[in-house]
A = this chain, B = another copy of it.
């Protein structure tokens, strides 16, 4: 009896379409151009249908943001399993971060409320700054510079703001065309940070 299953499958598909459409519009016209009605137009439903899938626009953006953080975390775990050297882990992840910025710019924007994107929820940040002691980067920093847990957490915050802050400033101030030119500066900044720790 696949009636429930079929419905659920369709629901999942529509939900995914909504998220994808929001990202598509944001990518091409910027987040300030993303509206409930425009999304509804593309997925060929009437606007109120979106509220069957998301409580409101903020929750929709929150989902996109969460998926962004989840993706980066997965990539980080892969790296952790590939390399032993803490410095190497930091550098490799920096490359992932940069690639993410280029390939999923619109997701990055909503992750950090940049360029008109606005998701009021602070949930993702709270999660990001709790349960640090088994965050691969936290562990890496603890290995490079063994200190108290609090001291390592402070260094973690410095790493966090350095890397994501650099990416944020780049995407905010640089036109798309010149953005790629900034990768060496980013990597150099991360290397400098890493070196200066020891």
Contacts and interface: CB of A to CB of B under 8 A. Distances in A.
Interface string A167-188: 1111011110000001011101
Contacts of A154: 184-185, 188
B173 A122 contact: yes
Contacts of A168: 112, 165, 168-169, 172
Given A113-B115, A125-B173, A195-B196, A164 B161 contact: no
A152 to B, nearest CB: 12
Contacts of A184: 154
Dominant SS among interface residues on chain A? helix
Interface in A116-155: 116-118, 122, 125, 128-129, 154
A132 B42 CA distance: 46
A45 interface: no
A175 B129 CA distance: 13
Given A116-B113, A196-B195, A166 B162 contact: yes
Contacts of A36: none
B118 A116 contact: yes
Interface of A: 32, 112-118, 122, 125, 128-129, 154, 157-158, 160-162, 164-170, 172-175, 182, 184-186, 188-189, 192-193, 195-197
Top 3 nearest A-B pairs by Cβ distance?
A: A165-B165, A116-B118, A196-B196
10 contacts: A113-B114, A129-B173, A158-B185, A161-B166, A161-B186, A161-B189, A162-B165, A165-B166, A192-B193, A192-B197
